[in-house]
Amino acid sequence: MTTATAGPAARPAETDALRRAMELAATDGLVLGPNPRVGCVLLDPDGVTIAEGYHRGAGTPHAEAVALANARAAVGPDALRGATAVVTLEPCAHTGRTGPCAQALLDAGIVRVVYAQPDPNPVATGGGALLRAAGVDVVAGVLEDEARALNPVWTRAMELGRPVVTWKVATSLDGRTGAADGTSRWITSAASRADAHRLRAACDTVLVGTGTVAADDPSLTVRDAARTGPQPLRAVMGRRDLPPSSRLAVPPHDGTETLHLRTHDPHEALDALWAADRRHVLLEGGATLAAAFWRAGLVDEVVAYVAPVLLGAGPDAVGDLGVTTITGAVRLDVVDVMVVAPSTDHPADQADAGPDETNVRLTLRPRKES
C-alpha cells in the first residue's frame, strides 16, 4: 500500500500521537457493527495532547467528534484554536448517522490534520480534500499500513464494494464433508469446531444454502464461549422456502430473524448483504453454494479444517468449478497452517464432543495472477 504524503511531513509529536490513536482504536471489546476502528488525538501547537477519542461502533459518535467533545469539556469552547487533529483514518466528508467530521474539525478551529489511512469508503471519502480546500494543513498516509491493519476486513470490503467472503470447509483427508448417507457429526474434532465458532464470531454474517438447511437443519449461532459481540446475521441463499420447523425459520431467543436471499446469484446475495451493512460473510454451505461463489470469483479467503479421517464416499467439499484439466486448477496461496491439537476444555460438550484428535487448519487466499 502506498504511503504517499501530500503536503508537509508529520512531526515526531504527531507520529507519536498517531501511534497513541491506533492504541485507542484497538481498544478491546468494541462492537463496531459495519464501522471501522478509529482513534483520534488532538494536539496543541506545541504538540501537547489536549484530548483523545475513539469510535465505539455504529450509531455512536466518530472518533474526531468524541475527541472534540472531550477537549471542550476539559478546556472550554476555545480549546482548539490553532490545534492539530491526528487521526488513524481520513476524517469523513459524509453525513450518515453523524455529521461529517471534516466540517466539525474546521468548525472547531483545527488548522492542521494528520491522518494515516485514506478513507476507502466511496461514500465517506473526500474529507482530506475538503479540509485542504478550506486552508487546513493536511498530512496523509502516515503509518498507513499499520492503520489498514486495524481494519483489514473493513478496508477490503470498502475497496471491493461488497462484503469480504471467507469460505469455511471441514473435510476428511479425502476431501469429503460427510459420509455416503450425508451424516457429518463429527468429522472434525471438538477443538476444530470451537475454533470454527471463533471464526463465526469474527464475521457479521453466516451464509448457507437452502440445501444445507434441508439436509442439516443448522442453527448457525455462535456458541457462547466464543462469543464477543452480537450473533452474526444468519442468511440463507436459494429459492426454496425454508421448512417451517427448521431452526433457521424459528427466531432464536435473541429474536434475530434469518435473512432469506431468494436468488442463486452470489452477486445478488452479496449486494443484499452489503445493503444490510454486512462486511464479512462466512460461507458455510455445501458444495453447491461454495462452487457458485468460486465460479463467480467471490471467495476472498478459505479456512479449511482437515480431519484425519477417510470416508471413501460422501458429499464433496466443492462442486463443479468448470475445471477440466490440471492447468485450469484454482490455485491458492497458503497463508497459515495450524495444528489443531486435541482439547479437553469443553466439558459441556463431552457427551456429544465427537473425536478428540489432531486436526490441521489451513488458511488460504485465491492466488492473484501476477
143: cell is 503509518
Among 106, 196, 203, 291, binds a second copy (CB under 8 A): 291
Region near a second copy per CB under 8 A, out of 20-28, 47-55, 125-133, 317-325: 317-325
In angstroms, how far is CA 126 from the centroid of its own chain?
23
Q: Which residues are CB-contacts of 177 (< 8 A; sequence separation ≥ 6)?
A: 169, 170, 171, 184, 187, 286, 287, 314, 315, 316, 317
| 323 lies in the binding site for a second copy (CB under 8 A) | yes
| 296 lies in the binding site for a second copy (CB under 8 A) | no
Region near a second copy per CB under 8 A, out of 77-85, 106-114, 132-140, 165-173: 165-173
| 331 lies in the binding site for a second copy (CB under 8 A) | yes
| 4 lies in the binding site for a second copy (CB under 8 A) | no
| 316 lies in the binding site for a second copy (CB under 8 A) | yes
* Residues annotated as catalytic (active site), given as ranges: 64
| 309 lies in the binding site for a second copy (CB under 8 A) | yes
DSSP state of 162: S
40: cell is 483520534
Q: Which residues are CB-contacts of 83 (< 8 A; sequence separation ≥ 6)?
A: 42, 43, 44, 45, 50, 71, 108, 109, 110, 111, 112
| 181 lies in the binding site for a second copy (CB under 8 A) | yes
Q: Select 137 or 316, whichever has its Cβ closest to a second copy.
A: 316
Sign of CA dihedral 24, 25, 29, 30: positive
| 312 lies in the binding site for a second copy (CB under 8 A) | yes
| 176 lies in the binding site for a second copy (CB under 8 A) | yes
Number of residues that bind a second copy (CB under 8 A): 55
3-state secondary structure of 366: strand
- In whole angstroms, the minimum distance from the beta carbon of 351 to a second copy comes to 15
Q: Select 249 or 360, whichever has its Cβ closest to a second copy.
A: 360
209: cell is 444454502
Report how far apart, in Å, the C-alpha atoms of 262 and of each of 237, 241, 277, 338 are.
6, 9, 18, 36
Q: Which residues lie near a second copy (CB under 8 A)?
A: 171-176, 178-181, 183-187, 291, 294, 302, 304, 306, 308-314, 316-334, 337, 339, 355, 357-360, 362, 364
